[in-house]
Amino acid sequence: YRHSFQCFHLQEPQELQQALQLCGACGSGVEAKYEIKGGHVQVNGETELRRGKKLRDGDVFSFNEREYRIVSQ
């Protein structure tokens, strides 16, 4: 169960690490890197360990009990 669901508009494809920063889930690229490498981020329901994972329209990533849906601009 997730506490929040937010649509996140960006140009696609966008790398996971950058998306975490742009949506405000992580305060810096270094923080995003460690959260991804630590297995704390999921993409479309699966744990994702690649910070360069490309996100596209319709993808959902989750972190810290929040979900974010990618909506292309």
Q: What is the pLDDT of residues 43-58, one digit of tens each?
A: 999 999 999 999 998 8
pLDDT, residue 49, reads 98
pTM of the model: 0.83
Long-range interactions of 34-43: CB distance < 8 A, separation 24+ = 35/63, 40/64, 41/16, 43/16
Q: Could you tell me the two tokens for 16?
A: 């996971």
- Residue ranges, the chain, pLDDT below 50: 1-3
Confidence at residue 2, expressed as pLDDT on a 0 to 100 scale:
47
The predicted pLDDT at position 1 comes to: 43
Q: Where are the beta strands (DSSP E) in the chain?
A: 4-10, 14-15, 41-43, 46-47, 54-55, 60-63, 66-72
Q: Provide the Cα torsion 59, 9, 26, 3; round to 10°.
A: -70
Q: What is the pLDDT of residue 47?
A: 98
